[in-house]
Amino acid sequence: MHKKKNISVISLLFFCVMCITACHAVPQKVQENMSHYGENKSKTDYELSYCSVEDLRKASMDSIPNKDQNITYPTKVDFSKVKEIDDVTYSLVKDYTKYDEYYMDLFGMKKLEKKVDQGVWDGDISDLFEDEKDYMWINPSGEMAYLKQKKSEVDSSKGIEKIFLKRGDSIERTIHLIDGDILLNDLLIQMTETIKSVKYNKAFDLEPRTIYIRKNTDGKDVVTIEYEISHNGMILDYYGVCIKENVDSMQIESMCTFSEITVEKISQIAAFSMMGMFEIEKQQPFDRIIDFPSAIRIFENEVASFHDLKVAEIEPLYMLRPVYEKEETSYYLKAGRQIETRPVYSFMIQCADDNKLENGILESNEYAYVNVDMITGEVYTNLGDKGYGMGQGDSTDVEEN
C-alpha cells in the first residue's frame, strides 16, 4: 500500500480503501439479515433475444411486463446516451507526470521541489509535492491526489447526506461553506467547469454522479462531488471492485475508476482525486447485444431465492479488468497496464446504509452488484462476498434466438 502521508481528511485513499471495502467486508446490517435469503434452486429454460444499440437506447422499465414481485426496481432506466458498445481494451497512460506544473498552477500552488514517493509494489511510484499549504502526488499512470493541508475536521458522527443526481434527487438547496453560502446547483456548475480543466483523453466524458454532504466540527458543510467516467455512453465501472484471493500481492481482479472534488470554501478546491487516465488500445463494435428484457430474466433467475431485494439503479457499464503477467506482483495501476473490459447491464443492489465513514466515500461500501454480460449472458456478482449467501444454485440454461 502507499506510503503516502497519513492525512485523515482526504476522501479517497485509493487502493487502501479498496482493500477494505471491496470483496471482503460484510456490513453488519447484511449479517443480521442473511437468514432471509435461501439457496437458489431455480433452473429456468428460456430464449435470449438480441437487439441493436439503437434499440437499446429506447429500452425502459415499461418494456418489462412481468417483473418479480420480490424485487423492487427503479422506476426508470436510461440507456439513451449509449452511442456504441465495443470489445475494447484500454491501457493506463505512461507519462502523466508531465503535467506536474500544470496542476500546481491549477490548484494555485507555489512551484515546489519534486520528491519521489515509492510505494510497496513495482509501478507504485509518484511525483510528490508538499509544503505547509498544499499536498499533491501524481503517478505516471494518471492516478493523482491533491488536498489543502489546513482543512477542517469532518464530524463523522453527523453522517453523510447523499444526493444521487441520476435518480432525480433535488439539488434545490443552499450550502453553508466556511466562507459563505452558495446554492448547491451553482456549486455543481462551478465544479463541473473546473473538472473540464483536468487533462484527460477527450474520448472519455466526466459527468457528476453523486454529491456527498458532511459537516465539519463547526457545523459547516463539506461537499464532495463524485464524477463518473464514460466512453461512448458506456460508464466505466465506479463501484465493482474485487480482489483476487490467495495472492500475496492482493491483485485487483476487477477495478473501478472515477474522480472526486471536495469543497469547503467557495471557488476553492479542498481535495481532488483521479484513479488513473486511460488510452484506447483496441476497439471493435459489437453489432448486437442481449436485449434489456432478456437481461432482466437472467437477473431474476440469478436472484430467485431472494425475498426482498432492492435494485437502486441499472446501468450500461464496462467492467474493468487489469491484465497481469503470470504471478506478477506489480501495482494494478502501474503505468502502461492494459485494462480489458466486459460490457454489462449492472444491477446495483442496496446492501447496507453506511453513513458513518469519514473517509473513503465509495458506493461499493453500500452496494453489491449483479452484472449481466451484454454479449454472453454470463453473470458476475459479489452478492456472496457482501454476505448475502446466494447458495449453490443450479446453472441457467438459455437458448439463443
8 A C-beta contact, residue 141 and residue 273: no
- Pairing assessment for the beta strands 180-183 and 115-118 based on DSSP bridges: unpaired
Which three three-digit cell numbers place residue 308? 426482498
pLDDT of the residue at 43: 44
Rounded Cα distance between 101 and 110, Å, is 10
In the chain, where are the structural domains located?
1-401
Rounded Cα distance between 21 and 15, Å, is 10
8 A C-beta contact, residue 359 and residue 20: no
Instruction: Tell me the residue length of the chain.
Output: 401
> In the chain, which stretches have pLDDT less than 50?
1-43, 358-359, 389-401
Query: If you ran DSSP here, which 8-state letter would residue 255 be given?
Result: B
- Looking at 64-129, list the stretches that DSSP marks H as alpha helix, in order from N- to C-terminal side: 100-106
pLDDT of the residue at 44: 53
Rounded Cα distance between 128 and 135, Å, is 8
Give the pLDDT confidence of 347-377 residue by residue, as tens digits. 999 876 655 554 455 666 678 899 999 999 9
pLDDT of the residue at 383: 82
The one-letter amino acid code at 320 reads L
Rounded Cα distance between 66 and 144, Å, is 46
